[in-house]
Structure 1
Amino acid sequence: MWCVPHPVKHDHTLVLLDTEGLGDVEKGNSQNDSWIFALAVLLSSTLVFNSMGTIDQQAMEQLHYVTELTEKIKVKSTEQASDFEDDSSEFKRFFPSFVWCVRDFNLQLQLNGKDITEDEYLKNALKLKPGLSTTIRNYNLPRECILHYFHSHKCFVFDRPASKTDLQNLDNVEESQLDPAFVKQTKKFCAHINEESPVKTLSGGYMMTGRGLGDVAISYVEAIRSGSIPSMENAVLALAKIENSRAIQEALSKYDEMMNQCLNTFPTETQEGFLNLDKEFHAEAVKVFMNLSFKDENQEYQSKLIIELGHKKAVYMKQNEEASVRKCRALLQELSAAMEKGISEGKFAVPGGYKLFTEEKKSLVIDYLNASGKGVKSLEVLQEFFKEKENVESTILMADKTLKEKEKKLAEQRSQAEAAAREKEILEKANMDLKKNLENEQESYKMHVEMLQKKMDEDREKIKEENEWLIKEKLKEQQEMLATGFKTQCQMLEDEIKQLREENSKPQSLMGEILTAILPGPLGKLVKKVLL
């Protein structure tokens, strides 16, 4: 494997996979060659086949491995595919383009006395013969497979690169010493590979990354080593599992990164302030997930993301509350410093002391409530502070000799009423926060559904485009078969084209079906009701 920055396509890598030569008599193991050929087909976006001299029957027989691909590769997963089911009609969708390079070409590019192009030379070599004899079937089989499995066919012919003497020391020969015709042909070949070779894609238009290529290579090789037939769908599902798990982690990291940047601004003034942050960061995290995920069957991984983001939200919400508690306690400590000093020095343990205490308490509350930046736990911390002072206040009240018993009872009732009013306010605020939190979750779930619907629409369009492309390829193949009188193959292609058109006309999933797939339990029903 040789990986280089792509010379034409920015931010792409050109991966060159070089296999050992096929048909080595010293190995004495044709199965090894078959698997190497199958693996090269599975991993590449352009398959380059080398032969020497000319494209003749002998060269075609060296390519007999193409006729074994139905035994070596399956499109569908092993659970879905029958042992007797032939899914080779789908090969053209997944297989690479086919480039035949003829080295040391020693013929004139002519047909019936007329000059022809390299591609016309290959097209003529792949032409089928009519007839049903065993000899003709054997002649046609590799040609049919090349035409039926690979979506485009290109040919390049090369003169000898140098003289016989220089060939023996080719590694040390300078480019200037190479045959000019060979250099020109090589540059033409390289330009085609650089400009025309497509990005390796999987079903649904998923563009392969370097990490993804490594993962599917492992998947295919492990299947071969275990004695089973590599399935393209199994490899895609295995890759989807890896990539979707990574998509979750990347999305959660994005949420963490954005929340951590806000920790120094905690506490938020209100619960709504925190929920607005969560809503914004949640949306960014979902965008990351949607960009990285693919083939998330039944929205399994998106459901996991929803749950994990809920856990993250709870953790940061608690941190926001804890920051509020610390801020409020520090503020109360500062505001009550004079009161605490007065208590310790007996300032309120005198006639009229209770009135003095309540005035300072009232002043403290006013200053506390007017202070900004206290956060979401300001009422709870204030209530906790006064609960801690209940015994002190009661002692001051009882010790104040200027007050009659009836006045003391009224004062005690007033204090209890104030505490009850604060408790009621805390409860009302908690209920309001709970309602806002539920609304926040509903908006987040709705956003999940909308993004999912958009992604499903995009994926659906990719599949439709892929199907339309495949229909055009099969129509071209059908015309070739029709021109050479192969009616049976024409009918088979007609059936395949009909099936592709039916697939493109199927209705899309409804929003309600998506909701029940990704939203947990009653929340799904609730949000579904809101959306519908």
Structure 2
Amino acid sequence: MAPNTEMESPMLLIENSVEGKLSVCQKAVEVLKSIDQPLVVVVIVGKYRTGKSFLLNKLAGKQKGFPVGGTVQSATKGVWLWCRPHPRMTDHCLVLLDTEGLGDVEKGDESNDNKLFALAILLSSMLLYNSKGTIDQQALQDIDYVTQLTNIIRTKSETENSEGKDFMEYFPSFVWVVRDFTLELKIGKKSITADEYLENALKLKPGSDEKSKKFNLPKQCIRYYFRSRNCFVFDCPGNKRVLRNIETAKESELEQGFVQACNKFCDFIYTKAEGKKVPNCGNKKVTGEMFAHLVTMYVDIIGSGKLVVLDKVVENLAEAENEKAVNEAKKHYEVNMNQMVDLPTETATELNNIHEKCHKDAFDIFLKRALGSSEKYKDRLEADIKKIFEDYSKRNEEKSKEKCKDLLKELFEEIDTKITSNSYAKPGGYTEYLTDRNDAVESYHSNLQKGVKATEILKEFLAQRMTESECIRQMDQGLTEQQRRMEAEKEKQAQQELQKAASDQQLQMIKEVMESMTRSHEENMDKMMKILREAREAAREKMKRHENADIKKIFEDYSKRNEEKSKEKCKDLLKELFEEIDTKITSNSYAKPGGYTEYLKDRKDAVENYRSNSRKGVKQWLP
């Protein structure tokens, strides 16, 4: 981001009215359009009054910025934007979006919360979900917004439901931020990482009944929608006084565990949050202008109550960007040609070389910006550039003609004066005329920057003066009739040679133009083919990721069924092996001296038989 577009403080990007109507703030859109760098978009979402804004201020490298409230009221309304220079990726801009708190009791509109959550996902390259306490079943119920996404978003069609793997291509990476975390990161006696804590919390509950499905739904959505998942846990920052004044609190006043967690968190975001990309378009990075277009589209669609169809959004964005790519490349070609070409050029090669360079630069600009299937836009750019070049070629010829005619008029001025005064009407006059004419032609040839029509205009000029030459020959009484015929034949032969030279020059010009166009076409096609190869490779990688996701899902299902079958078989086997023991207990057969010893022996035999029985499965020790 250019220094003059750096924002010192956040500004409202999406307004959320009291009635729940969403609208884009044009001032923020204009700021985004001024950023020509790729964006890393980090969006935070979560319940109101959970400290979301404080974390974004830390990421911005500022103590103040996004409003941090110290009361029970939500401090953020709508979606706020803060563009900052990226601390690690100097060629990227870090875009921080702070969203209105979900579940605000003053608002009481669940559908509006669902829309805000959907916008947070659609706009981000990394989504931060902020909550307090622990990741328990209540926390998973609180993130129920993720289960409502298919009511707002589709990937390919408004009528067909999309699968998790389809969303994964479009959705951001996911980070669950747990605030005021007081538990030990352990499962049993084993220490675990915060990421492992999240994955353990997202384990599915066995069972296919409706209750189990409802229980598992938020977990399944998080597992299958987001391509990567991470977790960070934070201690409480300090006591109530610190919490109420956290914007002005010094680092020394905060709990050191909290400070360390903040530093680790910021380092992770700076390092791992990727630039936002356009899916199915060779993973082209999103710039500020493209992001502004996306924000406007998403808000318009979601605000109107229509479904967001992601493929159509990408198609719409691609059309808009390709249109701009054509115009930008065409303008660049025109500006460069205007700066570099000085008409007339001495040769066609000179103009062709300038054209090739400008064409190459313009095509590179087009490719840099073009998205998706851009073949028809490439063809349009080629046609536009061809038209401009043909106009330059025509003007080059006209300028050359004009300059050559003016030069010949000037060089033959003295000859014309002599003709008017009959200075050549004497014996030896024709020889004098030829000398003067040859001197003028020599001066014409030695004069530079006549352009591509120099030979043709000379040929036409001398052809127009052949009658004049004939008259002077006839008036020269020092020439015999035979000499006159010989001189006429020489002049005719010279004119034919000029005609041939002019034709050869014209053919050479056509050949050079064709060769130049062929070189440009081949070079541009090579670039296009390279991009297509990269796009195909990206598509193969995408398919591979989807296949791996499918395989993982199938494997997890098999693993789950394997465990269920193992449990079932083990329980049935133990019931069968302990049947005799249960009968003895029912009939009080062990209620006698030595009965306990007999019971232990029977139980040991049953357990031995259980252990010796094969194919009990992976859960054989659970019962």
Q: Which amino acid aligns with 1:276?
A: N
- Which residue is 1:274 aligned to? 351
Are residues 1:214 and 2:274 paired? no
Q: Does 1:246 align with 2:324?
A: yes
Q: How does 1:44-443 map to 2 (within 5 A)?
A: 44-76=124-156, 81=157, 83-203=159-279, 204-264=282-342, 266-297=343-374, 299-386=375-462, 389=465, 392-393=468-469, 396=472, 399-400=475-476, 418-419=494-495, 421-443=497-519
Q: Which secondary structure state, in structure 1, belongs to the residue aligned with residue 83 of structure 2?
A: strand
**Shift in Å at residue 406 of structure 1?**
8.4
1:17 partner SS: strand
Classify the secondary structure of the residue corresponding to 2:227: coil
Shift of 1:139: 0.7
Q: Are the structure 2 counterparts of residues 351 and 487 from structure 1 closer, same or farther at C-alpha, using a change threshold of 3 Å?
A: farther
Q: In structure 1, how many angstroms separate the alpha carbons of the residues matched to 2:86 and 2:555?
A: 36
CA distance in 2: counterparts of 1:369 and 1:381, whole angstroms: 12
* C-alpha separation in 2, matches of 1:187 and 1:456: 41
1:22 maps to which residue?
A: 102
Contact 2:125 2:171 in 1 (8 A): yes
Aligned residues of 1:105 and 1:159 also touching (Cα < 8 A): yes
Q: CA deviation at 1:48?
A: 0.7
SS in 1 for 2:416: helix
In structure 1, the residue matched to 2:578 is none
Structure number, greater radius of gyration: 2
- The verdict on how the C-alpha distance between 1:106 and 1:447 changes in structure 2, with shifts beyond 3 A counting, is same
Superposed CA offset, 1:52-95 (max 9, x none): 2222222111111111112211212xxxx261343443111221
Q: State the match for 2:611 in structure 1.
A: none
Q: What's the offset of the Cα at 1:248?
A: 2.3
- Contact between 2:426 and 2:476, CA under 8 Å: does it hold in 1? yes
SS in 1 for 2:131: strand
The Cα of 1:335 is off from its aligned counterpart by: 2.9
> How far apart, in 2, do the equivalents of 1:225 and 1:409 lie?
93
| Conserved 8 A contact 2:185-2:197 | yes
Identity %: 37
Unaligned runs of 5+ in 2: 1-80, 565-623
TM-score, scaled to structure 2: 0.71
Q: CA deviation at 1:180?
A: 1.4
For residues 221-268 of structure 1, give each alpha carbon's deviation from its aligned partner in whole angstroms, at most 9, with x where no partner exists.
Answer: 22223332112222222222222223223333443344334324x443
CA contact (8 A) 2:165 2:546 kept: no
Q: What displacement does 1:40 show?
A: 0.9
**CA distance in 2: counterparts of 1:72 and 1:95, whole angstroms:** 14
CA-CA distance at 1:171 after TM superposition: 2.6
Shift of residue 117, structure 1, vs aligned partner: 2.3
Q: Which amino acid aligns with 1:210?
A: G
Residue 154 of structure 2: SS of its match in structure 1? Answer: coil
Q: Give deviations 1:315-363, integer Å, cap 9, x for gaps.
A: 2223432443344335424432432332344322445434432332233
How does the TM-score come out when normalised to structure 1?
Answer: 0.82
- Provide the rounded CA distance (Å) in 1 between the counterparts of 2:317 and 2:127: 22
Q: CA 1:256 to 1:63, structure 2 compared with 1: closer, same or farther past 3 Å?
A: same
- Change in Cα spacing, 1:135 to 1:184, as seen in structure 2 (3 Å) is same
330-339 or 91-100, which deviates more = 330-339
- Between the aligned partners of 2:245 and 2:417, the Cα distance in structure 1 is 99
Query: Structure 1 or 2: larger helix share?
Result: 1
- In the alignment, is the contact (CA less than 8 A) between 1:353 and 1:400 conserved in 2? yes
CA–CA separation in structure 2 for the residues paired with 1:62 and 1:345 = 108
Pairwise CA distance, 1:479: 4.4
Contact 1:105 1:158 in 2 (8 A): yes
Tell me if the contact between 1:40 and 1:47 (Cα under 8 Å) persists in the aligned partners.
yes
In structure 1, what is the Cα distance between the partners aligned to 2:555 and 2:261?
31
Which piece of structure 1 moves more, 169-178 or 425-434? 425-434
Shift of 1:7: 1.0
* Equivalent AA in structure 2 for residue 250 of structure 1: E
> CA RMSD of the aligned region, Å?
2.9
Question: Which residue of structure 2 lines up, in the alignment, with residue 446 of structure 1?
Answer: 522
Preserved contact between residue 219 and residue 238 of structure 1 (Cα < 8 Å): no
What is the identity, as a one-letter code, of the residue corresponding to 2:151?
A: E
